[in-house]
Structure 1
């Protein structure tokens, strides 16, 4: 164990904020993908989707609240588990412990929800349903967990641990770039096909 991990705390405010910012960006990517899917596959009522622009500020507040809740319930336990496992089994907390811990935390959540649904409601899903939920939760938690780990690591080194501005600016820029590229490709493909 080196000097930067000896006294490091994972549950610090900077790590929670960085993780929440990362979750907001992840939810923005998912929302952009779903919005583009809706444009490509319009429903029978044929809404234009222009109303989504006015819903954006409300969506941002909801996404931030959901991201904070997910950070406190899933991401920070994942980062803590990764830190403890890295210290116990490797002497240092390598970055790859976070995706491994995300898989373990995701498995625990899916198992608990599946057991509660089975015992309380009598509803049992097929094994592929549980596998997809496990994968979705693990993929959602791992990037935010890596941001929390990085923020805590920087704080332990005495460096500025605030990553919120960087994550939000670069992440939202990535979402906009993704959105524009997909729209341009769709327009070019549509004009080429006819």
Structure 2
């Protein structure tokens, strides 16, 4: 049992780190968008909203990780081994797209909002797939596969790179005149 807990706690750590990077990238994009709009909102309010999102977002990310990301990652591994005889990374986006499509359309179709549901479906699929792909190396029990340390290192490097690229891209867009403040 300790191996089971260690394996899934490491996967949870990596998946939540990837979700944190996604959240920071989305926050940076929203800030770039906010600077292109007329607003009477005080800049301090953005910091307050960020703090509230941190305190609400961390438990939400844990719930999404444990409730969706890890089960879909395990289902994708099982599906790949069952259907093709080997596990491949590309099973996760397929399984996540199907599961998220069923979930979103179960809510959107009865409400008559299927067009908006398509956007929610795509967003939820990306939200679940990226942390699942990051957590896959930490969840592999077979010897010879990269473990938790490598998964944490790669998630940290790629997450930091995505955040820096988003922020620098926003500044470059303003500097070059692609968007106006």
Q: Same fold, TM exceeding 0.5?
A: yes
Deviations 1:104-152 (A, max 9, x none): 110221133347xx4xxxxx22322222221111111111111121221
1:139 equivalenced with 2:126 (yes/no)? yes
Q: Give the counterpart of 2:23 among 16, 27, 33.
A: 27
* 8 Å CA contact retained: 2:137, 2:147: no
Aligned residues: 174
Q: Is the 8 A contact 1:19 1:71 kept in 2?
A: yes
For 1:148, the equivalent position in structure 2 comes to 135
Q: Which has the larger radius of gyration?
A: 1
Q: CA deviation at 1:102?
A: 0.8
Q: Which runs of 5+ in 2 are unaligned?
A: none
Which residue in the other structure is 1:89 paired with? 83
Query: Once structures 1 and 2 are overlaid, which stretch shifts more, 98-107 or 61-70?
Result: 61-70
Indicate conservation of the 8 Å contact 1:20/1:144, yes or no. Answer: yes
| Equivalent in the alignment of 2:162 | 174
Residues 34-64 of structure 1 deviation map (CA, whole Å, 9 limit, x = unaligned): 1110111123x2x353543465454333332
Give the TM-score taking structure 1 as reference length. Answer: 0.75
> Does 61-70 or 23-32 show the bigger shift?
61-70
> Shift of residue 175 of structure 1?
1.0
Displacement of 1:180: 2.6
Alpha carbon RMSD of aligned pairs, Å?
A: 2.8
